[in-house]
Structure 1
Amino acid sequence: MLTVLSYCSFGQGTESFSNSNVGTVNAYTNFSWTGDNGLSWSVTNARSDEGSGSSVATGMNGDYIIYRDLTGILTCNNIPNGCGTISFKYARAFAGSPSVALFINGMQYGITTSSTNTAAAVFSTIVNVAGTFKLEIRQMSSGTGSRIAIDDIAWTSFNATPCAEPTEQPTGLVLNTTPTSVTGSFTTIPSPTTVENYLVVRSTSATLSALPVDGTSYTVGQVIGGGNGTVVAVGSDPAFTDNVSPSTQYYYFVFAMNDVDCGGAPNYNQVAPLTGTATTPALPTCTTPASAPTALNLTAANTSISGSFTAAANTNRYLTVISTTATLSASLVDGTTYTVGQAFGGGTVVAFGTATTFSISGLTANTPYYIFVFAANAECTGAPFYNATALSGTITTTNNSTGIPVGFYTAADGQTCQTLKTTLKNIASANYTQLTYTPGVWQAYQFTDIRRNDANTADIIWDIYSDNPTGPEPYTFTYQTNQCGTYTGEGSCYNREHSTPKSWFADAYPMYTDVHHLYPTDGYVNNVRNNFPYGEVTNIARQSLNGSKLGTGTNFGYSGTVFEPINEYKGDVARTSLYMATRYEDEIIANNWSANGTANALFLSPSDEPDAAKRRLQIYDAWYLQTVFKWIGQDPVSQKEIDRNNAIYYQSGQGNRNPYVDHPEYAAMVFQCTGVLPVTITEFTGAKYNESVLLKWFATYETSFRSFEIERSTDAISFNKIGEVNGRNLANYTFNDRNLPKGSIVYYRLKMIDIDGNFKYSSIVSIKLDNNFSNALIYPNPTADHLNVKLLDALTENSVLTILDISGRNLQQQQVAKGQLNIPVDVKNLPSGRYFIKISNNGTVINQSFVVIK
């Protein structure tokens, strides 16, 4: 068993499961116990014994817990003092291939990891969450045969600077009521302030019997301290909606709180909170609306229709139906609620609510549609009541071209460098219409960022922070229905993310509402990203359910905190960054964006580059520009980007285009002139085919570059030139070595030579010359933290990749699936040395070696 340590005294917490044998033996149920340090633990779909025989997990310390299926979750609520790092042992119990993931306050940290045998392995990751937190270890594989064993959880406290007590409160609380709701808004504390979030509490008493407690995080619906106050909203949004009862007086209390990047969070200002009161009216008797709404205005695109109308007097709801026929074959029935997507009278219900606008997507181009809008009254006895006469109209969806207009970029022909950049700025600025933030940007998303779900049964928001390109999404958002609002964790709602944070341009227009850089993203993950620049993360502090990460890494010399989207969208945000650097080059230089907020992390400042002309061309620090070009090379323009670019131009009302989506080559033609983008080899691989070795490499943009010399060695020490390839600004190059030396291994590297004679070397790749090793490539090799195994033939069965040291010890394993060709492998925890990879595939053993250099 683990020695019990007091995390209060030593900054560490543990759970050894010594008190967990309170459940059912040989059966699965839910149970709880008091664990180490007096913390309360619970587990679902679990058994309290450790099994027997071959099912017993090895390498555990005494008692441990076993749970199964997707319903199996190990939980500990309200752990104090924050979490710095955390580790635990895990292993397969019985049979199956269970996988496990760590969640802190509903957010995943680290990766989902699998276990294929009963030998214990250790999961460890950085968390760095301050204040009281909720810990969950979830079993991520479905099926009762997927059973995971967990033992020896240990975590350190997060030693952040203690949260300061806020000294101010928000002001200007405004409350509006209906019989069943109270909507409120307030004015946040102006900058400079450390306050980023607020707690809104509702009570039926003018005085709260319990105040929020410092260090305690609250969620919507939670009663504070067993008192008379219920949490209505938590977050940075100064607006909230509260569903309540008729004929009741309510009191609202708004507390400022410090809870970002500080210890002991949250710290509340409990003194003199902002207060207000409102009384909801009684439910009236339902009456039929006297008239229909008026002034229907319809706008059609190729596959969507949006509309607006003027509200009817004494009416609080509207039902909208779309049909391909001019009349509906059914009548509305009072007291019946019709839901969106429901068939009605030969049409389909597309909206029911208070809004006087609507949008409909997923339609057929060049098709006439008929729209019917009925007035209704709800929030009354016997609701809803309908006016039987509809406001109606018809419109035909368009069949317009959606590509680049002819001659759109003619003015850019033959240009490069700053001349081309300024021309592209002028093109992107022409015919630009500034949208409103509300409702303009919200409404633009119906055209720019909606897609069908994986089952092709509904339209969903295309959120780059929750989308899973290779499998089911962890959750989805419906346009308008899931618009933020207050969020309490991932999946709560979507909001409008400025990919170039608004603080970097001081909330100024037109940048504030430019849809090219405003993406609809999960509100909670958007808040996690905060105002950090994009970059690659090697030390994960936070990770979303789709794998987006917050943390630090080595980004061309920048070691600060960055946010990394998944690979599918790295090129998207990179090309958006180039758009911002071009469209707003005048504003960036004139207003010195580098002086705003945290923008100095990536924008050139006058002290970085005193020459304003050079600063205007480059805009970004070298590290960020190099990251951008790495990403646009790895993630070329996708159909999603093309469609979004067209939608912004043709449908959103903004009316301009991102030139780097239309013409990706413009990126190099402009920014290679900065001199900070030397030739970079993004991938260098080789493979033996018959009696020759084919080398392939991918190069980024070549400035003042002459040639690649191909060098070969049989000992990885002495290299000789065997060929040369001239630089021609190609995306990829190849060289075929047909005169192979004798020996079992041959090594290659590239010598990259500039016009002035300066040169540098690529990484070294090694190729096995005998047939036993020619069916797999490993790169980069040598490596420091990760490598890729590329199989020449797909695996014919599920297998296990094993890493062994030179003495044959098994150091690391991971599952590989049938049909897999490319296998990423994380080796950052291995010390310097030579290692071997082994994969068994249908009787054939694939062996290959690699070297780790730290």
Structure 2
Amino acid sequence: DFISVPDAPEALDATEVTATSFRANWMPVAGAASYKLDVYSLNVESDFEDLIISEYIEGSSNNKALEIYNGTGATVNLADYALQLFSNGATSPSHNINLSGSLSHGDVYVMAHSSAHADILAVADYLNAYAISFNGNDALAIYNTNTSQYVDIFGVIGDDPGTAWTAEAAYSTMDRTLLRKPEIHSGIIQNPGGTGASAFSTLATEWNMYDTDTFTDLGEHSISRSSISYVAGYRNLDVGNVNSFVVQGLEPNTDYYYVLRAVNNNGHSENSNVIEVFTGVISAPTIQARQIEAAITGNTISLAWTPGNGAGRIVVMNTQNYFNTPADGSDPVANPIYSGSGQQVIYNGATQIIEDAPFNGVVVEGLQPNTGYHFRVFEYNGFAANTMYLSSTATGNPALFTTLSGSFSGYYEDIDGYGATLKAELHELLRVTHATQYSYDALWTQLNYTDEDPDNSNNIIQIYTGWSIPKSSNGGGVTQWNREHTWSKSHGDFGEGRPAGTDLHHMRPCDATVNSAKGNKDFDEGGTLYVDASPYPGFSGNTGNYSTTSTWEPRDEDKGDVARMIMYMALRYEGTDTSYDLEIVDYTNTAPDNEPYYGKLSTLLAWHDQDPPDAWELRRNQRIAERQGNRNPFVDHPEFAYMLWTPYPLGATGVSANSFTATWAEPLVGHAYILQVATDSLFSTFVPGYEEYNAGDSSALTIGGLAPGTSYYYRLRTVLQNGFSMFSPAYMVSTVSAQPQATTASISIENSSVRLEITAIPGLSAYRIYASDTPDGAYSDVSAEGTFDDTGWNCTVGDHPKRFYRVYGAWE
């Protein structure tokens, strides 16, 4: 069937209007494939800078004319200008007409073919049978001979478009009358780039088009005293096939306007009606964030809070319960790795949407065990220089949390270490707490509970598709669900028996045909999109999964879940209570003969890092623990993956003004370690030589050539067989200041001897003693009057029965 250009949509009033955004709305149009949106403000214009071409007539026979408009506010001497004609793609003028006379402000100068229609001749100021004989493929330009600059160009000089330049909605420079839009107040002074019929890029946006031989408006030109200023990013923006769109990044207290065009393969409609929107004045929010909550380890705190009514918020932490009120108009950069002291912004942003659910939280790293940290949230509206903060407190805001004396508690309280040690401890914990082992038939009942849809208790949610289907729709039918072994049972040949073949942590409901397509493939990225031929009614067959002959890439929402299930299996089954020892390897096609391997490690680690546990996965882990007894440690503590498979930073030793030795734990596998050292926690500026430093398989490295009194960050990743692990968490090290540093000392006096027992400053090699006879007097260096030993300084009282001392450490 023939599909025509769609009708113009009807724009509706904006909703959700704030000081910096609004939602544009419109009625859908039949036959539209998408919509294009313009958002703009109107600027009250002063006079034009120069002449413009205001009308172009390329009609039948010799009906050709060009109108020039003067909106400069003053009379113009036309002798300073020439009209140039560029025929058939010429780069130099085919005709050059030097103008003469004068043109008053607000008046037009009409140039026409001498044999044009009488209505054209009646308003013409200049007639020429040769120069004014242009066709639709000829460019025209007004040239200022004093400045040697173009003041307006029609078409594209040097481009032959064929018969005419064209644009959407049947725009053409052949057999058309074109009038400059009233809001256009300046000419095209730079020749447009590009070639071909579409190269005249402003044809549709700056000109109104009329039928052949339309002369009605020739001889006069109407202008608007306001010109359009498009909002950046919102000119001819394709917003897709929707009927509303949120426009953001606007200025407060400003009038904006929007129009739309419906689009399909045949072109676009005329503009819709214009909708005016006024953005309000930005004011501070009125409801502060509240109820800051935390999940705590020895060196991290995972915060969550209930937001107020601001557009965004910053979260500030400190080791003291003291917070400066943020300055209006400020937009601080957040860094969730704490520097160790003082106020620090750890979060700056709006509510996040993760897997279609709102999330307000941040994970703070770099903390010390058994240490109290204070947190406060400030709501704000606006952005950048327009930001307005709410300074009040609220219930549970601010909040104090103390890190644990050890890294873990509860179920994991006896767990510590890294690499092989950590793996052994976690394996033993998972094994001894795996209290209930189900039969394969019992899984029908158990999966109904563990994978129940939180929004519909009659349904389960399937792995790989996310489809919510009835619990009762299970079995082998093409639209039914069955029991998926995420770690395929052929990888180790454990079948459907206890414990691995029925372990709830990797057993998932799955569409029967999707399960068959996944088969026993390893996990990796790439392949062909898998479209299911028999989706459950109401769902699309586009699953978002990709497949090759040997690999399966799940949809993004399942990638982290899959990684954590596979990592759990590799910890739980070590051959201690089974005949199989499951291991993750960094290659694919891992089990041609039922080997107990699964791949691909580097990909799975990346998925774990990119897709952290969400509320659904946490709920499922808890429900499995209720039924089976053990837990998935990677869901509870995602950091275990870093502690097992990355060279985990242990700290720095030998810290001096110019160097430190970075140390790390040995991971489970790896041929070498890549070390990065940077001057910022975002790792955007590296210490020379340490952007991708190959540290071999060592567990420590001394980094030299550093600046005194400077914070540095280091992190590592493992070189695997066919890729890399994710990077470890970053560790911050501050080099010692080269300036003298004050320290304390205890003083003891015996007879005529004085001893200062000095409190050592880590990394310093020398101390200086300064003394004065009065507490507020001038202090002089008296170090040479006594002698230093390993822990202090000794001298005699001498002629100073009363003396005050100060002790400084300094590098020598």
Give the structure-2-normalised TM-score.
0.32
Larger Rg: 2
Give the structure-1-normalised TM-score.
0.30
